Amino acid sequence: MAAEMALVKPISKFNTTKTSTPKFGNPRKTCSLRPKFSSVTMSATSQPATAKKPGKKAAKTAIKETLLTPRFYTTDFDEMETLFNTEINKNLNQDEFVALLQEFKTDYNQTHFVRNKEFKEAADKMQGPLRQIFVEFLERSCTAEFSGFLLYKELGRRLKKTNPVVAEIFSLMSRDEARHAGFLNKGLSDFNFALDLGFLTKARKYTFFKPKFIFYATYLSEKIGYWRYITIYRHLKENPEYQCYPIFNYFENWCQDENRHGDFFSALLKAQPQFLNDWKAKLWSRFFCLSVYVTMYLNDCQRTAFYEGIGLNTKEFDMHVLIETNRTTARIFPAVLDVENPEFKRKLDRMVEINQKIIAVGESDDIALVKNLEEDSTYCSIGF
C-alpha cells in the first residue's frame, strides 16, 4: 500500500467505526522489519530535527492521531475465508490468480531497494522547515506502507487453507510493503529518527472494515499510490534541480509494485461480482472514491511546503493524480466520480478552507467545550 488509506471520518463522539486489535501473535516474530531503535517516534515532526546530533535518535512516547492520520486496518477474516473458498465461490478465476502469483514470485524489485551514501549526505544538507516536513513525509509514508504490510500478512496467514494461491499472493504483497516501509524507515534514520514498528503493531488501534470495504479502499489506495509515485518520479526527472533526496529515484520501480497490488485487487473484485453489480455497489464505490480523494487532497494541502519544496504545485499535482486514478478505477468500479468537472475541484478547495478552520480551532487556546462546539459547526459546513 502506498497511499494513506485513511478516510475522512466523523469526529470521535459520532464515530461508529469499530476498532479492535487483531490476533497477530508476536509481531516481532513475523515482521521482517526490525526497528533499529527502541524509541517510539510517530510524531517526529514536533521535534526539531536539526537540533539532534548525528547518532542520537529522537524519542517520542505518543502518537499524534488526527482525523487524517494513516490508519491500521483489520477485517472479518472468517468472511474473507468464505469469499475465497473455491467450493463456495464459483466466480474465482484460479487461472488468473496463478498467473498473478507467478508475477509476484518473479520479484522484480528484489535488488531494487539498495541505499547508498547519497541518502545521508542529502539529509544532512537539508535544513530548516523543509527538513522537518521531509521527516513528516517519511513518517507518514512509512506508516501507510506498514499498514499494508500488516493487513496483507494477516490475510496471507488466514487464507492459507482456504485458497493457498490467493494467500501466497497476499504474503508476497506483504513482502513488498515490508520492503517499502523498511526503506522509508531507513530514510528516517538519515534524519536521526526511527519508527518502532513492532511497538506500533501492538499499541495502535486498528480500524475495522468489512471485506468489501477493504477491497474498495485498498484498490484505490494502491492505484493512487502508483499515480503519486510515478508523477513525482517523472516530474523530478524533468526537473532534476528539485531532486533533494535520492529516495525519489527509486519511485519508478517502486510504483510498479503498487500497480501490481492494485491489479490483484482488481482481480479480487472481479471474483466478487456482488460487490460490483448493484446500486449499493455503485453508491459505495462513489463513497470510497470521494473519501480517498478528499483525504489525499486535504492531507496534501496541509503539507503544501513539501510539494513546493520539490517543485510541484500541490493542487495541480493532486488533481492530476485524482484524474488519472479515477480513470484507472473506472475500469473496475461500477461508478466513479466526475472529478474532471470544475465544480468538483471548487468543492475540494472549499473543504481545504474548512479544514484549515478546524485546524485553527484545534490549535487555539479556547477551552475544550468551546473547541468542540466550534469544530462541530465547522464539520457541519462540509458537504458535497
CB of 338 to Fe ion, least distance (A): 27
Say how many Å lie between the first and final Cα of the chain, rounded.
27
Judged by CB under 5 A, the residue of 158, 180, 228, 235 near Fe ion is 180
Site for Fe ion in 10-39 (CB under 5 A): none
Closest among 148, 195, 203, 144 to 171, alpha carbons compared: 148
Q: Under the criterion CB under 5 A, does residue 258 sit at the interface with Fe ion?
A: yes
Q: Under the criterion CB under 5 A, does residue 169 sit at the interface with Fe ion?
A: no
Segment lying near Fe ion (by CB under 5 A), choices 10-18, 98-106, 252-260, 303-311: 252-260
CB of 62 to Fe ion, least distance (A): 26
Alpha carbon distance 162, 164 (integer Å) = 6
Site for Fe ion in 72-131 (CB under 5 A): none
Q: Are 55 and 193 in contact (CB under 8 A)?
A: no
Q: Under the criterion CB under 5 A, does residue 261 sit at the interface with Fe ion?
A: yes
Q: Of all helices (H) and strands (E), which one includes residue 73?
A: strand 72-74
CB of 129 to Fe ion, least distance (A): 27
Alpha carbon distance 260, 274 (integer Å) = 23
CB of 353 to Fe ion, least distance (A): 32
Cell of 337: 466520480
Q: What phi, psi does 161 have (nearest 5°)? A: -80, -40
Closest among 298, 338, 333 to 315, alpha carbons compared: 298
Judged by CB under 5 A, the residue of 1, 44, 49, 268 near Fe ion is 1
Q: What is the DSSP letter of 36?
A: S
Task: Considering the complex, state which of residue 7 and residue 361 has its C-beta at the smaller distance from Fe ion.
Answer: 7
Task: Considering the complex, state which of residue 70 and residue 211 has its C-beta at the smaller distance from Fe ion.
Answer: 70
Task: Considering the complex, state which of residue 222 and residue 324 has its C-beta at the smaller distance from Fe ion.
Answer: 222
Task: Considering the complex, state which of residue 180 and residue 235 has its C-beta at the smaller distance from Fe ion.
Answer: 180
CB of 132 to Fe ion, least distance (A): 24
Alpha carbon distance 131, 133 (integer Å) = 6
Question: By CB under 5 A, how many residues form the interface with Fe ion?
Answer: 8
Query: Left, alpha or beta for 29 (phi > 0: left; psi -120 to 50: alpha)?
Result: alpha
Segment lying near Fe ion (by CB under 5 A), choices 93-101, 112-120, 211-219, 258-266: 258-266
Cell of 278: 448493484
Q: Under the criterion CB under 5 A, does residue 4 sit at the interface with Fe ion?
A: no
Instruction: Tell me the longest C-alpha to C-alpha distance in the chain.
Output: 61
Segment lying near Fe ion (by CB under 5 A), choices 121-129, 130-138, 143-151, 296-304: 143-151
Distances (CA, A) of 101 to 162, 171, 263, 291: 16, 10, 12, 30
Burial letters for 81-97: b for 16+ Cβ neighbours within 10 Å, e otherwise? bebbeeeeeeebeeeeb
Task: Considering the complex, state which of residue 41 and residue 141 has its C-beta at the smaller distance from Fe ion.
Answer: 141
Q: Under the criterion CB under 5 A, does residue 324 sit at the interface with Fe ion?
A: no
Q: Are 314 and 308 in contact (CB under 8 A)?
A: yes
Site for Fe ion in 213-232 (CB under 5 A): 222
Task: Considering the complex, state which of residue 153 and residue 180 has its C-beta at the smaller distance from Fe ion.
Answer: 180
- The amino acid at 7: L
Task: Considering the complex, state which of residue 3 and residue 361 has its C-beta at the smaller distance from Fe ion.
Answer: 3
Task: Considering the complex, state which of residue 169 and residue 348 has its C-beta at the smaller distance from Fe ion.
Answer: 169
Q: Of all helices (H) and strands (E), which one includes residue 297?
A: helix 279-302
Segment lying near Fe ion (by CB under 5 A), choices 6-14, 145-153, 192-200, 329-337: 145-153
Sign of CA dihedral 59, 64, 68, 73: positive
Segment lying near Fe ion (by CB under 5 A), choices 36-44, 46-54, 169-177, 304-312: 169-177
Judged by CB under 5 A, the residue of 4, 81, 139, 145 near Fe ion is 145
Residues that bind Fe ion (CB under 5 A): 1-2, 145, 177, 180, 222, 258, 261
